[in-house]
A and B are shown apart, each in its own frame.
Chain A
Amino acid sequence: MRWAQDLRRHSVGDLATVEEQLFALMLLIRSVEAAIERTHRAAKITGSFHSSLGQESCAAGVSLALRDDDIVTSNHRGHGHAVGKGVSAEAVIAEMFRRTNGSSGGRGGSMHIHNRSVGFYGETAIVGGGLGWASGAAWTRKRHGSDAIAVAYAGDGAFANGIFAEAIRVADFWEAPCLFVCENNGWAHSMPSDGVFGPAGSITNVVSAMNVRSEFVDGRDAVKVYETGCELVEYVRTGKPAFIEVAVHRVKAHSVNDADYRYRPKNEGAEWLREYDPINSLRASIRVEQQHAIESAVSAVVDEALEAASNGALPETSDALRGIYATRGLGWDGRAEIR
């Protein structure tokens, strides 16, 4: 995986255990989110972003269960999914900075991280919008003789939308090897999930009733997410869809501009993190020196990424109209390019 190579450049030895791998990846994801939040505050970035800080066990547990040739689609809170699949921290942060070294050349932003070469087909800013994409892509790979699979991440909010049941139904009907991941972070923006669906695990019951293999995992235990992820990924490789709901916690507000104090106690996220931080929970099973080595490598990777992102070129304004159509001769203004 790309992220592990990046860490190795900063003299972390082999990440020998699953716990070390999860710890390193989760820490990297959290550090990227934290770096983005810091720089956002420093007014380097306009627009919004949605932090996955605190939810890292889902992205990390699922990502470690995947192969390089697997495909991932994600949602608006997808920086962690991207890093886990191998999008470099530089490409994520530079995309936030709207630089040409960003994963979408600086024209997508926080909600449009795309990196095809590592299988991260990418985020979509429409809740539930990427589910069909993932299953259609996975189905095509299978048709061409590959046992690669797709993972479609969505939040609990997406599972209130009709596309959720439709996408799983169609994937099952056409036997698309797609793992649907419901990252249940407890909140659909300001709406508490349990008020909509019932307690965590309820969405899993719905999918089970659709006769699709489904599992529920408490995301405070990253190892458990990984193990269940591996089981399901292995099952999906046989050519069927499956579903996993991972209960995580949205530590930050819905977005950087969101006044979450209006709908939940002010320190609720921070207090949850103090008590249940899934990263800290892993420390007991990792030697202290190795923890430090990983921490300093993560920190170096993120510093390097921030630096490279800040130094990235801004897109040429003349580039704004490029690439709408693949068809030769079709520019933004109809046939302007061939007239």
Chain B
Amino acid sequence: MRREVWAGMAALRFVDAVRQALADEMEADESVILMGEEVGPLGGVFTVTRDLIERFGPDRVMDAPLAEASFTGFALGAATEGMRPVVEIMFSDFVMIAMDQIVNHAAKLRYMTNEQFDVPIVVRLPGGGGSNHGPQHSQSFESWFAHTPGLIVAMPSNPSDGYWMMRHAIQLNDPVIFLENKAMYFGAEQEVADEPPADPWAAAVPREGSDLTIVSAGRMVGRCLSAAESISTRGIDCEVIDLRYLWPMDVDTVFTSVAKTSRLLVVSEAVEFCGWSGEVASRVAKDAFTSLDAPIFRVGALRCPIPVGVALEDEIIPTVERIEQAVVDCMDF
């Protein structure tokens, strides 16, 4: 039985917004539990679960042994019995250890049991670069998950979405991969919207423009907005689309935008090669071909491990400058 609660509409940082969403869902529904490494007294290495154990107790905020495969499987088992576990993988890179439970089990259980079991589980993945934690603490795996049938892939780009998308994810009866760019946690505060979006799956258009469409998700949305702002001084007017979900992917919003701008750039923090930005490009190339006045451009991470220092990391992960350059190249075509 859900109890609706006050949603705490203050200006929040991303980290506080996600924490508030967890707390509000835990308040609303006793079956919501948190599991993961250091989620208890420490409150998570990024403080996302800080103070929640004091409020909800160790029966609902469960510090797990360092056993990602096992506690993810345990969470899956609890989910099949009606719990709504939210699993924190301390750094998204560690999810590789739990991939069997996520990909071979959680994602397929409903289908392969002929709908006898649902797996309402959220796997939180603090990931991506920007915090200079090095090659095994900075990866962006979103394309892997978007590629896997049975998963929903959420990738918020701002505090308001961090709040409402997390609440939505916890209420869904399917496994949700929830990608939190850890470099966003302690960024600027933002007013959380009073209501969730009318269409929870729809992409957002944080900047309207007429010359070129930039599609992105997660932390890169901020860089795309910076690039769009900067390049507007040169008379180029970019529209920026924030996909919010990589699966289901709202390509309709992209089609509508490209019909207006006739140019498309897709920006991902994930490795560009075989990455989700190729899916956007391919859909537009096929279904909106006649709208295009230029080839579709993509900017993603180079196919290289993420080095630890800022200087080297900026060579790999898209920067505002690389995005601007791609806009110019696409406009110049």
Q: Which residues in A have some Cβ–Cβ distance to B below 8 Å?
A: 104-105, 107-108, 112, 114-116, 121-122, 124, 126, 129, 131-141, 143-144, 150, 162-163, 166-167, 169-171, 173-174, 176, 322-327, 330, 332, 334-335, 339
Contacts and interface: CB of A to CB of B under 8 A. Distances in A.
Contacts of B112: 104, 107-108, 112, 114
Most buried by B among A136, A139, A339: A136
A335 B253 CA distance: 12
B173 interface: yes
B62 interface: yes
B56 interface: no
20 contacts: A105-B114, A107-B112, A114-B116, A116-B116, A124-B104, A126-B105, A132-B70, A132-B77, A136-B79, A140-B78, A169-B67, A170-B64, A170-B65, A171-B74, A322-B115, A326-B120, A326-B173, A327-B152, A327-B172, A330-B174
Contacts of B290: none
A140 B113 contact: no
From A115, A144, A334, name the one whose CB has the most chain B CB atoms within 10 angstroms.
A334
A108 B113 CA distance: 7
Q: Pick from A124, A126, A327 the residue with the most CB of B within 10 Å.
A: A327
Contacts of B73: 129, 131-133, 135-136, 163, 167
B20 to A, nearest CB: 23
Nearest to A126: B104
B129 interface: no
A107 B104 CA distance: 15
Contacts of B149: 324, 332
Contacts of B76: 132-133, 136
A324 B71 CA distance: 24
Contacts of B172: 326-327
B56 to A, nearest CB: 14
Given A170-B71, A326-B174, A138 B248 contact: no
Contacts of A173: 64-65
A150 B81 CA distance: 12
A170 B74 contact: yes
B297 to A, nearest CB: 24
B110 A138 contact: no
B72 interface: yes
B100 A133 contact: no
B111 A133 contact: no
Interface in B120-159: 120, 149-150, 152
A107 B134 CA distance: 43
A171 B104 CA distance: 21
Of the candidates B59, B65, B81, the one having the most CB atoms from chain A within 10 angstroms of its own CB is: B81
A166 B111 contact: no
Contact of B111 (A134, A324, A327): A324
A132 B248 contact: no
Given A124-B105, A133-B73, A332-B149, A323 B110 contact: yes
A121 to B, nearest CB: 7
B248 A335 contact: yes
B46 interface: no
Which label, helix, strand, loop or mixed, suits the secondary structure of the A interface? mixed
Interface residues on B, range: 35 or more
A170 B78 CA distance: 13
A114 B80 contact: no
Contacts of B81: 136-137, 140-141, 144
A134 B101 CA distance: 13
Contacts of A108: 112-114
A141 B77 CA distance: 10
Nearest to A73: B77
Contacts of A107: 111-112, 114
Interface in B241-261: 247-252
B117 A327 contact: no
Contacts of B118: 326
Contacts of B248: 330, 334-335
Contacts of A114: 112-114, 116-117
A134 B75 CA distance: 10
Nearest to A125: B104
Given A108-B114, A114-B116, A335-B248, A135 B77 contact: yes
Nearest to A131: B73
B247 A334 contact: yes
Contacts of B71: 132, 170
A144 B117 CA distance: 18
A325 B113 contact: no
Contacts of B101: 129, 132
B69 interface: yes
A112 B77 contact: no
A171 B76 CA distance: 13
Nearest to B171: A327
B82 interface: yes
A129 B82 CA distance: 20
Contacts of B94: none
A322 B110 CA distance: 10
A121 B72 contact: no
Given A114-B112, A121-B80, A135 B150 contact: no
B67 A133 contact: no
Contacts of B70: 131-132, 163, 166-167, 169-170
A335 B252 CA distance: 10
Contacts of A150: 77
B114 A104 contact: yes
